[in-house]
Amino acid sequence: MKSTLEYGSWPSPISAQSLVQGVAGLSDLQASAGCIHWLESRPEEAGRTVLVSLVNDTCRELTPHPYNVRSRVHEYGGGAYALGDDTVYFVNFSDQNLYIINSTGEIRQLTHSNTDVRFADFVLDRRRHRLITVVEKHRPDHEPENFLAALDLHSGALTILEKQHDFYAAPRLSPTGDRLAFIAWDHPNMPWDGTLLKVSRFDDDGLLQETANVAGGSAESVLQPTWQSDSALLFISDANGYWNLFRFDDSGIYCVLEDGADYAEPPWVLGSRSYALLDEQHAISTRQSADGQELVVINTETTMATPIPEDDASSRYYDSLSVNGGALYFIGSFVNRSPSIERLDLKSHSSECLRDSGASNLDPAGVAEAESIAFPSRDGQLAHGFFYPPTSATHVGPPEATPPLVVMSHGGPTAATRSTLSLKVQYYTSRGWAVLDVNYRGSSGYGREYRTALNGRWGELDVTDCEDGVGFLARSFRIDPDRVAIRGGSAGGFTTLAALTTSLCFKAGASHYGIGDLTALARDTHKFESRYLEGLLGKPEVLLARSPIQHLDRFRCPAIFFQGSEDKVVPPNQSQSMASALREKGIPVAYLEFPGEGHGFRQADNIVRAMESEYGFFCRVFGITPAERLPDIDIDNADNL
């Protein structure tokens, strides 16, 4: 028998420490010649990212302390290491220099520049004994330069190959090394707006010549070029409205498989891979659906696709696809267990967990599973999200009562939330809260039209979609409409603050490194996103009109702010100015700043503190007595709660 207790106050086996204790974030898996490598971000080591290899069932850490494998190109990084024949090359975060690990594990420094020169997204040019890389060079009082370059593996000398565009990504060599494919784009586009796929030949000196624009443009997003052979190049394009697989060869360009579904996600980081080659005729790819992803094998000549069945039906998302030795390796995300490194046998379709990310095992009876919902918006369209009901193995709420709701707004805003196990979500649901995780318009995974619907309407459609999701749940009596909080990070923090200044739907908010002043953001943010606002807002005058800090007269709800002191994407002055303004207005407000943290928290103690403080703040606002003791929060104007 389950005990009856007020919604929102249930005791839970999921502590804030569960989010970080023994947990590692997995990314950038690469498989080759019987060996696989990946990166592990470890909160308990102050967020240090470690390069790990697995050979013959033996795991080995290749980068001991204090090495931290992470690039700062575009600030979000990605593509921070590359595999050689018997060596590994990686970027060290503290100095942004490139290092080499030889076959015996010895590490030596290759480049000796300062942190103003940054490297990422490598391809090994064996014939010329060099790495081809994306470089970002910072300059005093000027916008950083981004270019493609070749890095000599003997001397570390840098040779610029191309620098006529604002941004570069994904340099990829043809099998014989004669040609280079790469992605380029210019302000004000982001890579999911419009990019160019370019192909060049190398001359006798190893420089680029005969560069041609193969695909793309200002309104076509091209991603992930991969040579299928010396005469055939695969890539992802949304020319038909969805990110589908295309092929370029001597006959021209054609869509390999035209499908009303996305086969890629927005490239916020460099080096992402949503498909992998099986041979010169077949590729294996992810396919996005409302509930998650599936794996399909695509015949690039017959344009036929075959889904891959799995013996573990709980997997929902597949990252860093890599094929080697008759098996598919990937980072799997699941509905009922933590992410892991997986090996899928392509003949038997049986899968094997090679490395778990370390999250605690949970009682299935206490895990809330996502319900995919599509709800009507006030302008006659459909918006999407995932609903999680309060779920506990030991407790239920009182009869006829309805639970408080936490609305989660993801960052980006060109990104998406997933339906897989999230301990942040389970932290709330296991305590008797409902959670609505919204894929508002502007989110990816639903095609280009849905993704671009937010252009010119940021701060409007994302807010009303969150509101309409709450109304949808309230009409079906699944939540208490008088106890609704909203939280989000980065762009999701902006949506949170915009909602609190324009809506009466929400009674409390939590902004994690969120945006309060769009004018200051346009002035202070980094190059990668410096013109992002032009598409999201449409007109310069909207910077003021949509800035939450300009509408404090409409701000009536208690709010808590979390900020990293070293954030280069959304600088601390954003949260500081909002908290100060609310403090002066007499609104209950709390502000927590974490020294040494950037855009997103990586250190275990800070992640725990933020989670417990957010939950404790919401409980204070709604008059809920939590089952556990939480750290004290300094709330200014607390008497006005």
The ranges assigned to domains in the chain are 29-275, 363-640
pLDDT for the residue numbered 314: 60
Contact 341, 24 (CB under 8 A): no
For 522-569, the pLDDT digits (tens) are 888 999 999 999 999 988 889 999 999 998 888 889 999 999 999 888
Q: What is the CATH number of domain 29-275?
A: 2.130.10.10
Q: How far apart are CA 236 and CA 245, in angstroms?
A: 5
pLDDT for the residue numbered 290: 81
Q: How far apart are CA 340 and CA 27, in angstroms?
A: 10
Residues of the chain below pLDDT 70: 310-315, 359-360
pLDDT for the residue numbered 246: 97
- Which stretches of 394-454 are assigned E, i.e. beta strand? 395-396, 405-409, 434-439
Q: Which two tokens stand for residue 135?
A: 């470089």
pLDDT for the residue numbered 568: 84
Q: How many CB atoms lie within 10 A of CB 487?
A: 28
pLDDT for the residue numbered 534: 94
> Which H helix or E strand runs over 287?
strand 282-288
Q: How far apart are CA 309 and CA 294, in angstroms?
A: 9
Apex CA 547: angle with CA 608 and CA 471, to 5°? 70
pLDDT for the residue numbered 360: 64
pLDDT for the residue numbered 362: 85
**Domain topology for 363-640:** Rossmann fold (3.40.50)
pLDDT for the residue numbered 57: 86
Contact 168, 214 (CB under 8 A): no
Q: How far apart are CA 412 and CA 74, in angstroms?
A: 14
pLDDT for the residue numbered 165: 98
For 488-499, the pLDDT digits (tens) are 999 999 999 999
